[in-house]
Structure 1
Amino acid sequence: MRFLLLSLLSLLLPTVSPYDIVDDFSGLTFFDNWDFYGNYDNLTLGDVIWVDEADAFTQELALVNSAGNVIIKVDNFSNVPFNQKRNSVRITTKSTYSLGSLWIIDAVHLPYGCSVWPSIWTVGPSWPDGGEIDIIEGVNLMLNNQYALHTTPGCVHTTPPNQKGSSSLVDCSQPSGCLVGETVPNSYQSGFAAAGGGVWAVQFDYTGIFIWFWSRPNVPASITQATATSSIPSLADWGAPSASYVNTTCAIDQFFAPQNMVIDITLCGEYAGIPEQYLATCANTGPTGICYNDNVPGPGNNYDEAYFELRYVRAYTTSAPAATGGVAALGKPSASGGTKSIRFEWPPLLVVLSGMILGMTM
């Protein structure tokens, strides 16, 4: 039966690939199309200075290692005086990406440690009006990654049956956003690196925002076989997402503008540094129990694990209906470097067939 359905679907679908490459960030050219923040953390009240591009390269806080992977890190070599901040990096893509986009992040190491707050996320031009998608985020010695949306009031997350992650807070307009905790093992901290890292994928679509995570041994073939110039031919081998923010309770095209991607590491601040978060995993790691006092000043060797090591970040745009069924986004490159999406409705038969096939593969 499954073979018959696949055969019928192959005859009815367009022959073009679902997602075509827009941007590949990797290797020596990784940083070419990112802006460095070049200021202290005046956004999340962290105890860092996000250095400019020149200082990031000079201080080797942004570099490409001998394996060809990108390193983005906190200063772990300077002796920082008390009441001073430690250097780190925050970068933002020059391009924006509209509905109909797909992002894939391949990492082999994530920053962690007491006071450490790393994030890979996307944001609209006028936060919170344009929305925010948190893809990779953890604090201190948390064991698992977590996802969140941040929006203006009116966007609510209800857990669909095919979501792997564990939903907690559901109102996306609250300070914490609407949270989904990762339940797949080795999504953060030392376990992530020990497993060889892993891959995240985010589908930014009219039908919803869907986030997948695979530890290295489980990355699907459609991703492992992709190159810096090839398309993603299908999402059929991806299985159920870790986080599914469907548009039935949050109209994605109303709450989300075209997004820039951001990668940053801050220290302490209004999340990692608040007592209920910091003390939960780091209460006994320093003499004072205060995030800044016990970590930021001094020689910095406690930040030896506070770095991203990324194989690549890739952005794609749709050139055929998305595999989620129903209303998809048909994307074309926009002048801003991302995509400009229009609405595309699958014929009812295609919706039924694709839904049956997806049900068999999950």
Structure 2
Amino acid sequence: MEDSVAANRTPSERTPLIQRVSGGGSDKQDPDDGKPQMKESSGGEEQHEHYSNIERSDEANEEDDDDDDDDDGDDDDEDDYYDGTEVFESLKEIDSERRLRRESLAADRLSMRLLAIDDNDVELEDQILKETLNLDLSPDDAFAGYDLSRRRSQIEIQKTTRKASGRFCTMTGLCILAFGVIIAALWIGAEFIGPPNQPVGPYELIERQEGDEFFDYYTFYQGPDSVGSNGYIDYVSEDRAKTIAIANITHETDELDVFYRGRRGLSNVVDALGKSSAKKEPFLYLKTSPTDAGPRESIRLEGKRRFNRGLFIIDVRHMPAGCGTWPAFWLTDEANWPVNGEIDIVEGVNFQAEAKTALHTTKGCDMSDVSLGTMTGSWDTAVGIPDKKTGIPDMTFREARNCFVYDPHQWLNQGCVAIDTNGGSLGVDLNAKGGGIFALEWDPVNRHIRTWVFTPHNTVPENLVMAIRSASEPVVADRVMPNPEEWPLPYGYFPIGDQTNCEGTKFKNMRLVLNTALCGSVAGNRFFLDCKNESKSFKTCNEYIRSKPDALDEAYWKIRGVYVYQREWRKAWLSK
């Protein structure tokens, strides 16, 4: 009803909606221009009374607001409206809450009036807005409320900023303190913060294979050689080996004690009677024995422990050498060969004089990415490989860098082979020097396999000498642990693991094997190449072994000990 009546009024009849703020406003209206005129005030008391009347009328209007909305507009009278000038004049002094309420009421009524206008009557809408908002107020009056509001906002912003700054400083201090506590806890009590995750610490001794305890770390394999090796031997049990005296532990004066003591500048190396003060040490002897049937009896020791990493050291004073011999000290998992890999630490064939280290794996492991300056040795060669189709030898020169046992461009099961180019480190030449020390480091975390040979013993680095000599100390603190970083460069370097051409998982779950084979698929096949004089009288390696039992007097091991170390388990970041 009100909307229809308001729509039918003429523009002159449409009093500005802000005048509907009720409350006895008796403001006069100029009949000439229809604009509301401000009511004059004669004094402060009259003005104060006027403000009080406005406040009382405003409260009354709020109570009657709902009733006014129900009116149909017929009873509205021009006397019920006032121009609202006093409302905006008083905004500077009245309470903020009431001011906001008045502004809200005025805005609501202006909205109702605008909604009553035809949507297409733009001129009327503009006129109403001008009548309502463009009042005759001085600039100071118009912006006084704005200035007050702005100042209050600035004060609130400043307070908020100070509070936020205080909170930020407090939180920053707490964060720094908490971070410091965490770092201190990590450094001081790292061993209590969860289990270690990687073997990255210094080496620690886990097996000292010496003397009478040597055989405790192995089992004796009994039976013929494997089909792949096909050696001309029979491996015997421990009881049989001791009965025929091909496995013995002896105690002898170790002349190297004198040498090592003198090297370190120690005195009293000779007692008052002129005898050497070198103490007797245990030595392991492993030999072969002839049989009436032909194949010689020999020994194959298989380690009881399985390894996935470690530093393996063997102090050799003599090794099998001569035509037809094939001794080896190696790591393998024969039940899962070549899936779990094979690493030959020491391997001699006939009269071979250079130490070699060979790796044997499944497909997908090669050493083509070995950097210069990482090893002192060279790679074995593969020349004259017969073509599978034509049988014609391929005389192309190739380095044996592929560890795959069935690589078509290398000899069958040749593997990737590093050679000690210094020579004189194997077989007859090694024995003439009094033996030497072989070491192999298998370190998947640091992504490499490295191998060394030191012969004669005066070339052994001091750290390694002290590690071996102190291995028997009962107190761990009195032992010296080996540190390969203090040694010279290895003669063989094989990168494995991430960012290499050979996955680290190619080598796993392997155990130590120490054996002496004769002839077979390696030494036997090279009989005519390596044993030229013997091959003139005997057609095969087996025939030579069967007919010349005394020719193998040098086919024995003399070992001071085997020492196995593994890195301590630590947090990787602590090792740095």
Shorter-normalised TM-score: what interval? 0.7 to 0.9
How far off is 1:235 after superposition? 2.1
Matched, 1:27 2:211: yes
**Of 254, 266, 275, which residue of structure 1 is paired with 2:505?**
254
What does residue 318 of structure 1 align with? Answer: 567
Q: Which of 251, 268, 292 is residue 66 of structure 1 equivalent to? A: 251
Aligned to 1:170: 401
Bigger drift between 247-256 and 41-50 goes to: 247-256
Larger Rg: 2
Specify which structure has the higher proportion of helix.
2
8 Å Cα contact 1:282-1:289 kept in structure 2:
no
- Name which of 493, 502, 508 aligns with 1:244: 493
Identity of matched residues, %? 30
2:516 maps to what in 1?
265
For residues 211 and 345 of structure 1, do their structure 2 counterparts lie closer, same or farther at Cα, with a shift above 3 Å needed?
A: farther
- Partner of residue 49, structure 1: 234
Give deviations 1:151-209, integer Å, cap 9, x for gaps.
11001013432211111311111211111112233211221122121111111111111
Secondary structure of residue in 2 paired with 1:249: coil
Task: Give the partner amino acid of 1:90.
Answer: R
Aligned mates of 2:566, 2:480 — CA distance in 1:
9
Structure 1 residue identity aligned to 2:448: G
Checking the alignment, whether the CA contact within 8 Å between 1:40 and 1:49 is kept in structure 2 is: yes
Please tell me whether residue 228 in structure 1 is matched to residue 457 in structure 2: no
Higher relative contact order (CA 8 A, sep 6+): 1
Distance 2:550 2:250 in 1: 20
Between the two proteins, the alignment pairs up a number of residues equal to 305
Secondary structure of the residue aligned to 1:344 is: coil
Deviation (angstroms), 1:250:
4.0
CA distance in 2, matches of 1:180, 1:105: 18
Match of 1:288 among 528, 538, 555: 538
Distance 1:201 1:345, change over 3 A: farther
Q: What's the CA shift for 1:145?
A: 2.0
Equivalent in the alignment of 2:438: 200
Q: Is the 8 A contact 2:355 2:453 kept in 1?
A: no
Consecutive unaligned residues in structure 2, runs of 5 or more: 1-189, 191-199, 253-281, 381-399, 406-412, 473-478
Q: In the TM superposition, what whole-angstrom CA distance separates every residue of 1:304-355 from its partner, at most 9, and x where no partner exists?
A: 1001111110111102xxxxxxxxxx48xxxxxxxxxxx83688xx5xxxxx
TM-score, normalised to structure 2, is 0.51
Q: Of the candidates 384, 401, 420, which is equivalent to residue 182 of structure 1?
A: 420
Distance 1:49 1:184 in 2: 35
Distance 1:212 1:189 in 2: 16
Q: Which has the higher strand share?
A: 1
The Cα offsets for residues 209-237 of structure 1, whole Å up to 9 and x where unpaired, read as 11111111211111111222435252232
Runs of 4+ in 1 over 6 A off after TM superposition: none
What is aligned with 1:211?
Answer: 451
Compute the displacement of 1:299 (Å): 5.7
1: distance between equivalents of 2:420 and 2:503?
22
Distance 2:574 2:341 in 1: 27
Residue 374 (structure 2) pairs with residue 160 (structure 1): no
SS where residue 562 of structure 2 aligns?
strand
Partner residue of 1:121?
Answer: 330
One-letter identity of the residue aligned with 1:104: I
Letter in 2 for 1:179: V
- Residues 279-325 of structure 1: CA deviation (Å, up to 9, x unaligned): 1220212512421112x214611111001111110111102xxxxxx
Task: Map 1:120-159; keep pairs closer than 5 Å.
Answer: 120-124=329-333, 126-158=336-368, 159=370
In structure 2, give the amino acid aligned to 1:238.
Answer: W
Cα deviation digits, residues 1-40 of structure 1 (max 9, x gap)? xxxxxxxxxxxxx9x9711000010111111120111101
The answer to whether the 8 A contact 2:288-2:296 is kept is yes
TM-score by length of 1: 0.79
Instruction: Tell me, in whole angstroms, the C-alpha distance in 2 between the residues paired with 1:345 and 1:137.
Output: 38
Report the RMSD for the aligned CA atoms in angstroms: 2.1
